[in-house]
Structure 1
Amino acid sequence: MTDQDSEVQAGDRAPSPAPSSPPAPVPGVEDGPAPADRAPAATDAAPTDVAPTGPAGGAPAGRRFPLWPLVAMALVGLVDQIDVSVARGVLPILEDEWGLNDTQLGFIPAVFIFVGAVATIPAGWVADHYRRNRVIGWTLLSWSGLILLSATAVNYVNLLVARAAMGIGQAVDDPASTSYLGDSYPSRMRARVFSFQQVSFFLGGGIGLAVGGAVGEALGWRWAFALVGIPGALVALAVFRLREPRRGEAELPETMTWEEIEALPPRSVEVERASGAEGLSFRQFARLAWTELVGQLKLIFGIRTMRYVLVGVAALLFTVSGISTWLAIYHERYSGMSVTQATVFTGGLLGLGGIVGTFAGGAFSDRFHHRWKGGRIVIVVWSAVICALLFMASFAIDAVGLRLALQLLGVTAAAGAAPGLRAAMLDVVPPDSRGVGASAMALATAIFGQAAAPLIVGGLSSLTGSLVAAFYIVFPPVIAGLFLLLRARHTLEDDAQAIVIAIYEENQVLEASRAELAAPPEA
C-alpha cells in the first residue's frame, strides 16, 4: 500500500459488478444496492484488483477507500500493545526488586488478559450499538490515565490490581476497531487491511518490551510505565475526528459513490440504536443487553466450525503469548544477555518478524486462499505449526546467533497467521454483530490461550526448574490443537452460510423482545 492521495491504490478500487446480477434498487438511488440489512452471502471469493470503469470505458466509477481510518486503527493497536508489553519488559526488574518467582511473574500479564476477556463480551455489545470512534477515543483517554496506576504501585498486589483495570480498556478497543474496519473495507481487501492493523500489534509489542527493559533498567520500572501513557491521549484526539461508517457499508456495491451512500435512508437498526436507551429503564436496558448477549453467544458457540476455530485459535494465541511473555527472560537466563540486551533483542524479533510476517501473510491470504478448500484456515494452521517447530529447534541450539535467526523466522510465521484469521471471522459474521462476534472469539482465545500461557509456562518453569523444559512440555499439545483447527476447513463453507441465516433469525426474535421491553406497562 502507498499513501498517495491518502487513499488505497487504484488497483484496490471496486471491481465491476456482473451485468447478469444487478443490485436491487433502493428508493431514492437509481440502480442502488440491495437493502443493507439483508444477510450478506458467505463467500470465499478471491480478491479482485480491477477498477470499475465509467461509460464507454472512461474514468473509474464508484468510490475509493481512504487509508486514514486504517492508519488510525493501526495507531490504536500500536499504543495498546506498547502499554501491554511494557509490563513484560520490566518483569526481570520486578523479579529482582520484589523477589518474585516465575508463577508470580506469570500472573502480571495473565490478570490483564483475563479481566479483559471477561469484559470483552459486553464491550462487543457496546461496539454494535454505539458510535465506534467515540467508544475507542474515550477508552484511549481513560487508558492513558489508568497506566499511571501501574507506575504508582507500591507492592505486587497493587500492580496486579492496576493491570487488571487496564485490561478493561483493551477489551473495549479490540471489538470496536475490528467492527469499524469491517464496515470500512470490503471482503476482498480485508486480509491486507488486517495485516496493516495487526502489524501494529507486533510492532507495539516489540517497542513496549524494549522500552520497558531499557527505561526500566536506566530510570526504574515506574518511569517505564509513566512514559508510555502519553501517546494514547494523542491518538484518541485523532480517533474522535474519524467518520463513523454505516453498518454494513462495506457490503454495498462498490460502484456507489460516497454521495450516494450518504443519501441512503438510515437502516432500521441504526435508527433504533441512535436513540440509545431512550425510553428504557436501567433494568429494562440490562435485560435487553443480557438477552442479546446470551442469544449471540449460544449461536456462535453452537456452530461446529466455530468450536474447531476457537480451539485452534486458542492454541495459536497460547504460542504467541507464551513466547512474547517469557522470551526476554529466556535470553537473560540462557543467552548470557543483560536485561536491556534481552528486552531489546526480543523486541526486535517481535517487531521485525511481526512486520514482515503480517504484511506477507495478509497479501498471501487474499491472493491464494481460494486455491484450497478452507484456504484461510490452512494458511493459519501451517503458519502456527512452523512457528512452534522453529522455536523448539532454537531451544536446542547453543549458538546464540543461529538461535535468534530461527526465532525470528518463527515469529514471522506466527505473524502470517493473524490477518487471514481476522478476515475469515469477518467474512462469516453479519455487520450488525461484528462487535459481539469478535468479542466471543476474544473471550475463548484469551482465557484458554493468552491468559493461560504466562501462567502455565511460569508454573511449569517453577515446577521443573527450567524455562526450556516448560516450553518443551507445552508446545506438543499446542500443535495438536492447531491440527484440530484444520478440520474446520471441511465445515467452514456450509457453517458460514448457516451462521448468517441463524443470526438474522435470532435478530428477529430479539426485535420482538426489544419491543416488548419498551412497551409501557399495562394499567
Structure 2
Amino acid sequence: MAAGAERAAANAASRAAEATAGGAARRWYPWLVFALSFALLLSDYMSRQVLNVVFPLLKAEWALSDTQLGALGGVVALMVGVLTFPLSILCDRWGRVRSLAWMAAMWSLATLGCALATNFGEMFLARLCVGVGEAAYGSVGIALVLSVFPRHLRASLSAAFIAGGAFGSVLGMALGGLLSSHFGWRWAFAGMALFGLAVVALFRLCITESRVLAQRRALGEEEAAAAAAAPGRTALRPLLAALFSAPSILCAYVGSALQLLVMSALLAWIPSFLSRYYGMATDRAGVTAAGFVLAGGTGMIACGALTDWLARHAPARKWLVSIAYSALCCVLLAVAFRLPAGGAQLALLGAGMLLVGGTAGPASAMVANLTDPRIHGTAFATLTLANNLLGLAPGPFLTGMLSDHIGLLATLQWIPLAGLGATVAFALGRRHYAADLARLQRRCAARAG
C-alpha cells in the first residue's frame, strides 16, 4: 500500500509539474506568436515602403513622372484591396499559420524581383506580385494574434500589431536610404527581401496550427471556444449580412480607410517632400522621414492603449476617441503644410504624425466587437479591403497625380482634409453602435440556446 501511495503521489506531482509547465507555456506562447507575426509585418512594410525612399533615384534613372511613381506605390495596396477578402476566406479554411508563411515568402521573393527590374514595366509587375503576397497578411495575421489573447486586450494588441506597419516603414525607409546611398537602389530592395526570407524560416519553425489551437482552448473564454470549434465555415448569405448589414460596422470601415488615406499619402511622399523643399540628400531624407513614420507608429500604439484605458468600462467611448484623433490630426497637418519650411512646420508635422494612425486600433476593436468570433479572419479581411481600396491604394497615387498638376506642397495641403470624412464616419457609427451590438449579442445567445 505504501508503494501504491508513493506511485500515486509521484503521478500527482508529475501532473502538477506538467500543468505548471503548460501554464508557463500558455503565458509565453501568445507573445511568441505576437513577436514573430509582428516581425513578418515589419518585413511586409519594409518591402512595401522601401520604394518611397528611392523615388528620387528611380525618377532620375528612368525619367518617371510623379504619377508613375505613385502607381508603383499604389499598386501594392490595390492588389491587397482586391485580393484580401477571397484570400482571407481561403486562409481561414487552409490554416492561418501555413498561409502566413507562404504569403511572406511570396512578397519577399517579389521584392527580390524589384531589385532585378530594368525598367518601369518590370518594376510594376514585381510590385504587383508584392501586393499579391501581402494581400491577406494584415487580416489573417491580426486574427491569429487576437485568437491567442483574451478579449480585453483587443484595442491595445490591434494597435500594436498594426503599428508594425509604421515601424516596418521606418526600417524600410531608413535602411533603404542607407543601402541605396552606399550600394545603389537595387541593394535596398535585396536587403528587405533577405530579411523577410529569414523571418519566414523562423516563423515556420516555431509556430504551428496545433499549438495555436491548444492556446485558444486554454483561454477558457466562450469566444475562443467558439472560434476553435467552428473556424470560419459560415454560409455566404449570413456571412455577408454579418459583415455589411450593421450601419456602425460600415462606418468603422469607411472612417478607418479615410484616415489611412492621409497616412499612406504621407508615408509615400514625405521623403520626396524633404528632398524637394528642404534640399536633403536621399539618405538624410530617408532617415528624417523614418523619424516621422516612427512617430506615427509610436502614436498608434499609445492611442490604442489610451483608448483601451478610456473605454475599459464604456466600450462606446472608442468612437468618441476616434472622432477626437481624426479631427485633431486633420487640423495639425493642414496647418503644418501651410507654414513655411522650417522648425515650426516640422514640429507640427511630427505632432500630426502621432495621431494619423490613432484610429487603427479602435477601428479594429470595433469590427471585432461587432462580428461573431468565428468569422474574425474574414471580418478583418473586409476591414483591410476597405482600408486599401478607399485609403492605402488611392493615397500615394492620388497625391502623385495631383502633384503633377499643382505641385507636391499644394497637394499635401489638401490631403489631410480626408480626415474630416473619417470624423463624420465615426460620428455616424457611434449613433448606431449600441443597437448593432445588442443585435449581435441576441443572435449569439439564440445560437447558443
- 1:248·1:432 contact (CA, 8 Å) conserved in 2? no
Percent identity between the two aligned chains: 25
Q: What's 2:148 paired with? A: 184
Gaps of 5+ in 2: 1-22
- Write out aligned runs for 1:450-469 (5 A): 450-464=392-406, 466-469=407-410
Q: What's 1:213 paired with? A: 177
Q: CA deviation at 1:183?
A: 1.0
Pair 1:376–1:267, CA change in 2 (3 A): closer
Q: 1:102 aligns with which of 66, 80, 84?
A: 66
- Measure the CA separation in 1 of the matches of 2:239 and 2:428: 23
- 1:354·1:415 contact (CA, 8 Å) conserved in 2? yes
- Measure the CA separation in 1 of the matches of 2:184 and 2:229: 54
2:129 matched to 1:168?
Answer: no
Root-mean-square deviation (CA), in Å?
3.0
- Write out aligned runs for 1:40-439 (5 A): 64=27, 66-240=30-204, 241-244=206-209, 245-246=212-213, 249=216, 253=220, 269=230, 292=235, 296-351=239-294, 353-370=295-312, 374-439=316-381
| Alpha-carbon displacement from aligned partner over 1:361-396 (angstroms, at most 9, x marks no partner) | 122111112566721122223212222221222212
- Measure the CA separation in 1 of the matches of 2:219 and 2:82: 34
**Structure 1 counterpart of 2:104, one-letter code:** L
Q: 1:494 aligns with which of 421, 431, 435?
A: 435
- Measure the CA separation in 1 of the matches of 2:228 and 2:62: 56
Pair 1:207–1:504, CA change in 2 (3 A): farther
Report the structure, 1 or 2, having the larger helix content. 2
TM-score normalized by the length of structure 2: 0.85
Q: What's 1:24 paired with? A: none
Q: CA deviation at 1:426?
A: 1.6
- Secondary structure of the residue aligned to 1:494 is helix
TM-score normalized by the length of structure 1: 0.74
- 1:187·1:427 contact (CA, 8 Å) conserved in 2? no
- 1:358·1:412 contact (CA, 8 Å) conserved in 2? yes
- 2:326·2:356 contact (CA, 8 Å) conserved in 1? yes
Q: CA deviation at 1:293?
A: 5.3
- Measure the CA separation in 2 of the matches of 1:135 and 1:489: 35
- Secondary structure of the residue aligned to 2:136 is helix
**Structure 2 counterpart of 1:393, one-letter code:** V
**Structure 2 counterpart of 1:269, one-letter code:** A
Pair 1:397–1:246, CA change in 2 (3 A): same
| Alpha-carbon displacement from aligned partner over 1:204-249 (angstroms, at most 9, x marks no partner) | 1111112223322332211111111112122212222224333993
Pair 1:200–1:229, CA change in 2 (3 A): same
Q: CA deviation at 1:297?
A: 3.4
- Measure the CA separation in 2 of the matches of 1:142 and 1:236: 10
Q: What's 1:36 paired with? A: none
Q: CA deviation at 1:358?
A: 2.6
2:409 matched to 1:471?
Answer: no
**Structure 1 counterpart of 2:197, one-letter code:** A
- Secondary structure of the residue aligned to 1:212 is helix
Q: CA deviation at 1:483?
A: 2.0
| Alpha-carbon displacement from aligned partner over 1:419-458 (angstroms, at most 9, x marks no partner) | 2222222222222211111111111221111111112111
- Secondary structure of the residue aligned to 1:246 is helix
- 1:89·1:211 contact (CA, 8 Å) conserved in 2? no
| Alpha-carbon displacement from aligned partner over 1:248-286 (angstroms, at most 9, x marks no partner) | 93795369xxxxx9xx9996536xx8xxxxxxxxxxxxx
